[in-house]
Structure formats: structure tokens, C-alpha cells
Amino acid sequence: MLMKELRKSSVGRRGAGIAFALAVGLAAAASPAAAQSLTDRFKSLFGGKSDQPAQTTTPAPGQPAEAEIDCPQVTIRAGASTYAVAAAGKQAVGNDVRYQASITKMARECARNGGEITARVGIQGRVVAGPAGAPSSVEIPLRVAVVLGGIGEKVIASKAYRTTVEMSEDGSVPFTFVAEDIVYPVPSAAVADNYIFYVGFDPQALSAGPKVHPKRKK
């Protein structure tokens, strides 16, 4: 009888692990309604389609027109596209995963102010509950960096952030975060094309970054 119960428990955990793996694999393929909601929010934040290059701002009347702004492409830092959290004392693999977050889409917008560029970098993602069970709300650590690429990368600016995501009963929740305060010096024309916005999950941000509470999505 005991062996039968143990076998039944093992099968249940394997089933939960398989279901979690499928959910993570399909996280980017949100339902059409959810995907449309996320897309609309990004459009409203940036005033246009998020997959188009950002445009320069119109100068105020009587002010000279600024040169065209090179708004760097935004990409996910290698190894920082997912963030998994395990049950206490466990590693974040298999049935011990409590939840996993992933990044699904990014956008950016740049504006010049004198000798500086202020950028808004948006991140969309999804949090999926794991077999070990996710809490009712989870803290997601993020980092946005401006980097001069090429041989021997140079970090121009870097900021850490935290955002809280309220989990739902179905265990799969989208989130949107926008870093509004990325400021860096205007690069010279010779190196402007080598600038990159890197985004990704950074566990160190849980202790270092400002905490942001996003609005719940309807």
C-alpha cells in the first residue's frame, strides 16, 4: 500500500514538472487577447509601434533643430533572458522551481537634452508558476545598461530595478516594465552606431534597485 502511494506521488510530481515545462515553452505565445493588451500598452507608452525605430522629438518654437538621434538597438544580455526561483534550499530545476520569469519583447525611445540623451527602455515578459508553487506575488529583478560594444565592451550607464508581479490562479502572468531614467552623454558620431541597450534579469537588483509597482493588466 505504501509503495503504491509513493508511486502515485512520484507520478504527480512528474506530471507537474511536464506541465510547467510546457507552460514555460509557451509563455511567449500568450492568448490573442492578452497579447493584444500588452501590445496596446506598449503603443500607448511610446506613442507608436514598439518595433519601429524611435523618432527624434520636435524642437520647441524658436529653438534650433537637433541633429538626428541615434537610439541604440535594445537586446537581451546573454544568459539573462530568464529568471528562475526555487523552493528554499533547492536549486531552480525541475520540480523544485517555484516560478520562472522570461522576457518576450523590448522597446526603446530616446530624446536629446543638450549634451545628454534620456532614454525610456520598455520590457515585456511573463511569469509562470512552477511545480513547487509560486507565492501570491513575486519580485522580479531587472537591469538596463547602455554599453559601447566592440572589442572590450564599455558600460556607459547601468541601473537596477525591481518590480512586483501579482500572480493569478492560472499561474501565468504577463508583466510590463519601463525604465524612464536612463541618461548618458551624447556619443560622438564615430562610435554612436556601436551603442547598445542591454536588458536582462539581475538577482542583485533585489537588494540594489528601486522598487516599482506596475499597474495590473485587465
* Cα 169 from chain centre: 22
**Residue 70: per-residue pLDDT:** 80
Residue 165 sits at the vertex; the CA angle it makes with 159 and 168, to the nearest 5 degrees, is 165
Least-confidence region, from 54-58, 108-112, 135-139:
54-58
pLDDT in tens, 13-23: 444 454 455 44
- The residue with greater pLDDT, 137 or 11, is 137
151 vs 1, residue with greater confidence:
151
Domain boundaries, the chain: 2-212
pLDDT of residue 55: 37
Give the C-alpha distances (Å, rounded to integers) separating 35 from 41, 51, 181. Answer: 10, 14, 26
pLDDT at 122 (0 to 100): 94
Neighbour count for residue 208 (Cβ, 10 Å): 13
CA–CA separation, 153 and 64 (whole Å) = 34
pLDDT in the model for residue 58: 41
pLDDT level of residue 204 (50, 70, 90 thresholds)? confident
pLDDT of 203 above 60: yes
- Among the ranges given (97-111, 119-133, 195-209), the one the predictor scored with the smallest mean pLDDT: 195-209
With a cut of 60, say whether residue 212 has pLDDT above it.
Answer: no
pLDDT value for 152: 86
Residues in contact with 197: Cβ distance below 8 Å, sequence separation at least 6, in sequence order: 72, 73, 74, 75, 106, 108, 119, 121, 144, 145, 146, 147, 182
pLDDT at 105 over 50: yes
Alpha carbons 108 and 120: distance in angstroms, whole number = 6
**Other CB atoms within 10 Å distance of the CB of residue 144:** 30
- Strand 116-129 and strand 172-185: pairing? antiparallel
pTM of the model: 0.69
| Listed range (31-40, 75-84, 134-143) with the worst mean pLDDT | 31-40
Place of cell 509597482: 213
Return the higher-pLDDT residue of 92 and 69.
92
Indicate the average pLDDT of the chain. Answer: 76
